């Protein structure tokens, strides 16, 4: 039933017309990896806020289960501002997801001109990342029926294909190919229609569901309205890290604090030291704006294969 309900949700979403573009802005290409314009330094109102005529970002911090966590509220003007980038763009702006390159999230975000970014699904690990579709390009279909796929369509709407098999995915692609923007393969779905769908005893050894660790998620709150969530982990003094159940509770609560209906969808991304929220702030020592890791900022960065990020349209 859950798979059927989610498929209906996706199919209904994909029938919508593309979102209207705010007056005066040119959208970014949605079928290649061109980066957004460089965000204006004036747009960074503080170490937790960015705003210009096309995007607003505000980051909040709280604590739950003996762990600090951070959640960002993002509103954009056009679906093309929700983007993804492979680590290879650090060395080459024309890099694609065909190449298995890794780099620090701060460096990928800087190369992409991200306003704010979060780690992706670590697509280079083919044994765990069975499906790769990025900005309308299909790279891999090894769907095995064991994971939930996050679908982002050309309207910027999020939905989930649950326990997706290779045949099920092929049929879905054949029916909806033109409307598919990005598909990520990690999961699982953790919040739907404002409520956590993860029971307290949930077991998923492939993502260490019972392990207290760093975690990351992306959520949709409304049309072109999103939330990113990242936690500290046990490597940061004074932090325990969260089980998946605890993290789902955090995402449910944070979504309701930002939108009265909470999260339409919240989806678990790669965790552990891969979990990274990236934002730009002033570095007093250098006197310049620098990309910084928001969560677990006291530990070294792990090299990642990809990020999800939000871009400005203001040139």
Query: DSSP string spanning 197-219?
Result: ---TT---GGGTTTS-B--EEEE
Q: Which residues pair with 159 in a beta bridge?
A: 151
> Per-residue pLDDT tens for 235-258?
999 999 999 999 999 999 999 999
> Per-residue pLDDT tens for 269-315?
999 999 999 999 888 788 788 999 999 999 999 999 999 999 999 99
CA–CA separation, 119 and 112 (whole Å): 13
pTM of the model as a whole: 0.92
Determine the angle formed by the axes of helices 2-14 and 166-176, rounding to 10 degrees. 20
pLDDT tens track, the chain, 315 positions? 344 334 434 444 433 334 445 557 899 999 877 899 999 999 999 999 999 999 999 999 999 999 999 999 999 999 999 999 999 999 998 898 888 899 999 999 999 999 999 999 988 886 677 889 999 898 888 888 888 999 999 999 999 999 889 899 999 999 999 999 999 999 999 999 999 999 999 999 888 999 999 999 999 999 999 999 999 999 999 999 999 999 999 999 999 999 999 999 999 999 999 999 999 988 878 878 899 999 999 999 999 999 999 999 999
What backbone torsions phi and psi does residue 152 show, to the nearest 5 degrees?
-115, 120
CA–CA separation, 216 and 38 (whole Å): 25
């Amino acid at each position: 039933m859950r798979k059927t309900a989610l498929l209906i949700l996706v199919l209904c979403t994909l029938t919508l017309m593309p979102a209207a573009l705010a007056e005066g802005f040119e959208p970014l290409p949605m079928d290649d990896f061109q980066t957004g314009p460089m965000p204006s330094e004036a747009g960074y109102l503080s170490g937790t806020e960015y705003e210009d005529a096309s995007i607003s970002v505000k980051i909040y911090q709280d604590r739950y289960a003996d762990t600090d966590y951070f959640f960002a509220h993002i509103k954009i003007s056009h679906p093309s501002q929700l983007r993804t980038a492979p680590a290879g763009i650090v060395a080459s702006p024309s890099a694609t997801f065909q190449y298995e390159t890794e780099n620090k999230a701060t460096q990928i975000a800087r190369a992409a001109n991200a306003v704010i970014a979060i780690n992706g699904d670590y697509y280079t690990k083919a044994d765990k990342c069975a499906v790769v579709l990025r900005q309308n390009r299909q790279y891999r279909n090894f769907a095995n029926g064991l994971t939930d796929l996050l679908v982002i369509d050309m309207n910027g709407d999020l939905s989930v294909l649950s326990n997706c098999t290779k045949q099920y995915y092929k049929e879905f692609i054949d029916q909806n190919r033109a409307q598919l923007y990005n598909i990520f393969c990690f999961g699982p779905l953790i919040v739907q229609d404002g409520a956590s769908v993860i029971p307290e005893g949930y077991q998923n050894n492939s993502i260490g569901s019972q392990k207290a660790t760093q975690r990351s998620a992306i959520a949709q709150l409304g049309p072109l309205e999103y939330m990113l969530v990242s936690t500290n982990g046990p490597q940061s003094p004074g932090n325990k890290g969260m089980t998946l159940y605890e993290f789902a509770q955090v995402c449910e609560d944070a979504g309701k604090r930002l939108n009265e209906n909470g999260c339409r969808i919240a989806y678990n991304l790669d965790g552990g030291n891969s979990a990274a929220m990236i934002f730009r702030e002033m570095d007093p020592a250098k006197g310049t704006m620098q990309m910084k890791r928001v969560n677990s900022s006291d530990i070294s960065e792990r090299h990642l294969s990809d990020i999800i990020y939000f871009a400005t349209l203001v040139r």
